[in-house]
Amino acid sequence: MQDNFKHKAKEWDSKSIRVQNALTIAKAIKDRVKLTPDMHLMDFGVGTGLLGFEVLKDVKSMVGIDTSKGMLEKLEEKNSDDLKIKPICQDIIQNPLEDKFDGIISSMTLHHVKDLNKFFTTVKNNLNENGFIAIADLESEDGTFHSDNTGVYHFGFDKDELCNIVKSCGFKDTFFQNISTIQKPHRDFGIFLLVARV
């Protein structure tokens, strides 16, 4: 498996816009989902843990899933006795986990997932009864968010199309809201939060 993010991992956390985006997404999740100290969550596409560590402050435990060893190595450097994310380097769409979680969070990873139906069907099986997904990503864009679109399968997402896919895969109580904007020199890009339950 090619690690497209290995060379980016070392400097990943140095971009303030990236750090701020993760904090904004974490706040939006906490505002929308009642997190409790007994919860066991998965962060899909955990990267260096920018979102995961922030959400972990309000729950019991967190597993971080990523296909980039470089990103997970950076995450391991940030693990502490107080805040520790268990890293797993695995493509859980091709090779699903058997673990069950109370919720699955994800930040800016969905556009790297080719088969959305397969993804949502797969992660639904990893959720306990009444478990939730809280996924943040780009609203529909023109393909210029990334300077290199290698590994990008979706130029953002349309609200109605994405919500329909989620519902067709067995989720309910679907919520979709713009939560922030990332400003780049040539244009602004909307960020949404999608929340749904099984």
pLDDT tens per residue across span 139-158? 999 999 998 999 999 999 99
CA distance 165 to 117: 7
Q: Where are the alpha helices (DSSP H) in 60-143?
A: 69-78, 116-124
d(CA 123, CA 47): 18
Domains, the chain:
6-187 (3.40.50.150)
Q: Is the pLDDT of residue 123 over 90?
A: yes
Q: What is the pLDDT of residues 166-196, one digit of tens each?
A: 999 999 999 999 999 998 889 999 999 999 9
Percent pLDDT > 70 in the chain is: 92
Identity (one letter) of the amino acid at 64? G
pLDDT in tens, 29-40: 999 999 999 999
Two structure tokens written together for 11: 């400097």
Structure tokens at 104: 């699955």
Closest CA to 106 of 63, 136, 84, 151: 136
pTM comes to 0.91
- 92, two tokens: 């859980």
